[in-house]
Amino acid sequence: MFDAILIEKAETGQTASLTAVDESRLPEGDVTVDVAWSTLNYKDALAITGASPVVREFPMIPGIDFAGTVSASDNPAFKPGDRVVLNGWGVGEKHWGGLGGKARVKGDWLIPLPQGLTARQAMAIGTAGYTAMLCVLALERHGVTPEKGEVVVTGASGGVGSVAVALLAKLGYSVAAVTGRATEADYLTSLGAASIVDRAELTAPGRPLARERWAGGIDAVGGMVLANVLAATRYRGTVAACGLAGGMDLPTTVAPFILRGVTLAGVESVMCPKPERLEAWSRLARDLDPAKLEAMAVEVPLADVIDTAPKFLKNEVRGRLIVPVNPALA
């Protein structure tokens, strides 16, 4: 038996509870992992609250991330005792995830815990940080270098944004951090932001082309914010888009693309091929300041996850929410 957050179908909607689950109920997979640490992400909060139809099959253990130790394996790439990390692959949506003491998954979904990182640190990074690194790699591939000018990060106090600010600052970029909460300015400055932009500047409809401000950007918000970032991106700049916290629509024009040669680079992390995952995690282990990572990590006990999920959706949390499931196993 192991403790887990279990989401079950109800007559109207769904229920979520912390309960004991028998290991025999674990889904099919060729690797079983004793989960040490997991996370609470935006998608997990949607799943737990039922605010969006994230869960595809019931019952479901949410948790799109986990780090732990292999306890059993029929996959030649892994053996008992190996320390591993998982991000995405539909885990927590259609396959039981990391917010429980054990997980059974396909070995192809796992990567070894990067050298130099603990399981706790890997979850402080999590899908949010790994996605932020994929965005940084996209900017680099499109030639956005520190000497090209300031880079903007939207949703900067969230999980993706926090890691993006810290990564870019460590790599020598001047970072403009966008937030709707003035109280987060000191936090963002401590992560390395050179300037703070009030989100209100970017939420109203603007011109198809605005004054050129940024050499590039990382956007986790979407909607009007992304439209205004694109309009203010410099000639041949690139914006990496990875989120929709501000909406799925994109009320923009072709002007930034055909008059300034701006690139909108989509970043998807769930089904990202393994070689790119390994590259991103290798860079995270090298380029992310451990002290800044610790500053953005907030521990949430497994017993408090259900009550914390609605606060996540109300934008009442900051940084990376990490869950000690069995920390002694790490």
% of the chain with per-residue pLDDT over 70: 100
Question: Which residue's entry shows tokens 């970017």?
Answer: 202
What are 321's two structure tokens?
Answer: 């929410």
Residue 102 shares a structural domain with residue 133: no
Residue at 151 is within a domain: yes
Residue at 289 is within a domain: no
Question: Which residue's entry shows tokens 């987060």?
Answer: 184
Residues of the domain holding 163? 126-266
Secondary structure class of 86 (helix, strand, coil): strand
Q: Provide the pLDDT for residue 330.
A: 62
Residue ending a domain, choose from 266, 281, 312:
266
- State pLDDT tens for residues 15-43: 999 999 999 999 999 999 999 999 999 89
Residue at 98 is within a domain: yes
Q: Provide the pLDDT for residue 89.
A: 95
Q: Is the pLDDT of residue 211 over 70?
A: yes
> Could you tell me the CA-to-CA distances from 144 to 155, 178, 215 in Å, in that order?
20, 19, 7
Q: Across all residues in the chain, what is the average pLDDT? A: 94
- State pLDDT tens for residues 143-157: 999 999 999 999 998
Residue 138 shares a structural domain with residue 240: yes
How many domains would you assign to the chain?
Answer: 2
CA 134 to chain centre: 10
- Beta-bridge partner residues of 33: 70, 103
Residue type, 100: G
Residue 161 shares a structural domain with residue 185: yes
* Cβ atoms of 287 and 167 closer than 8 Å: yes
What are 153's two structure tokens?
Answer: 């990060």
Residue at 317 is within a domain: yes
Residue 138 shares a structural domain with residue 229: yes
% of the chain with per-residue pLDDT over 90: 88
CATH number of 153's domain: 3.40.50.720
